[in-house]
Chains A and B, each alone.
Chain A
Amino acid sequence: MRDMKRVCLALIALLSAFRLAAQTDRQLVMKLDDPGKPFTLNVNIGRAAINVSGYEGKDVIVEANAEGITATEKNNEVTVLSSNRKAFVRLDIKVPKTMGIFKLSSLNGGTIIVNDVTGNLELQNKSGGISAFNISGTVIAGTLSGKINVSFKNVDPGSPMAFSTVSGAIDVTFPASLKANLKVKQDNGRVYSDFPLTGDPTDWRYGKAGGGGPEILIKITTGSIHIYKRE
């Protein structure tokens, strides 16, 4: 009985440290401690299709199609967890359009899709693809056998980026004002680039966009790479 009490007290203490979401029909509304400041979104769920999009609100809203999804918020950091490892989860998350850090990863789920956000994106998948559209900031994306499709509105000029997969395809669209050092490699497939690349086709190819800048690494083993310039 005493143990139960201790556990209860501990839980209460824990709950008061973190804010748990208000739940309405499997929709979790996470209020940020400081809505003006940058936020972080962490999602690391084994079998998930993660859909994140920017909207005009101030909260982070998480919708799931399965049981066992919880979310916590502390100091503007929102973490979404799943208690059910086997279930395939589809998450729809709305985030503010202000600066954010996104660490999203899945293994054998579906695609990770992020649209209309600003900030630093770390996207990791295994057998699913990665899509990111209308991004202002930095993207580091890796998967094993999926397609990577990223399109930038603006690029963070001081930050390196990377896009890598073993099989599939990599399509990246940069604004024409891009200033970066491109470093591109593929084993079997084609490389098409709006930015001129030089080098041995069986090894790394290099190109300077806008006179050069931080390094952007693009690597695929089997599949093609397309690098587009958006005017």
Chain B
Amino acid sequence: MDILSDNALMLQVKAGDLERMSLLFERHHKALFGFLFHLTQRREASEDMVQTVFYRMLKYRNSFAEESNFSGWMYHIARNVLKDQKFGLSNKYDMIGEHEEKIAGGTLADERIEKSQSRKQLYDAMGMLTEGDREILMLNSMKELKYPEISKIMGITEGAARVRVFRAVEELRQIFIKKGIKGANE
């Protein structure tokens, strides 16, 4: 069987072959979950939002156009779902302990403590960014998304998206310096 592109699969879903959505789910749900989790620090809420995103993609499958980019469309919906929720970043530290267990692979206790401390710092730093900055950095880090998609998702021009990414990176770097995270001011 040929491996179909995401676009082709979504078009098949649109045409009525709903089962194809499960293949898209297999391909994307983990990355989508990561995206949502890094932005909200909430595991359960992120899992629920994954469901909502896929449900909406099924419900509004007719709005998926031939020339659309599947990932761009999915993350656009994800962003809307995020906006519909109303919560800020809280209880970050509680979340960190929880998700440590779920990550595959074992490490020595000391290494683990060190890693989790620097992770805490990173989450802390990211928490000090504005929501928009955080979003655009996460969108930027998704391999399937290029500037055309990112700009469509954020509703800005490509040029503006580029500038925003650079500014967000700079902002985060300044926060690193303030928090004394090593390596930030080479």
- The answer on direct contact between A and B (beta carbons under 8 Å) is no
Which A residues fall within an 8 A CB radius of B?
Answer: none
Which B residues fall within an 8 A CB radius of A?
Answer: none
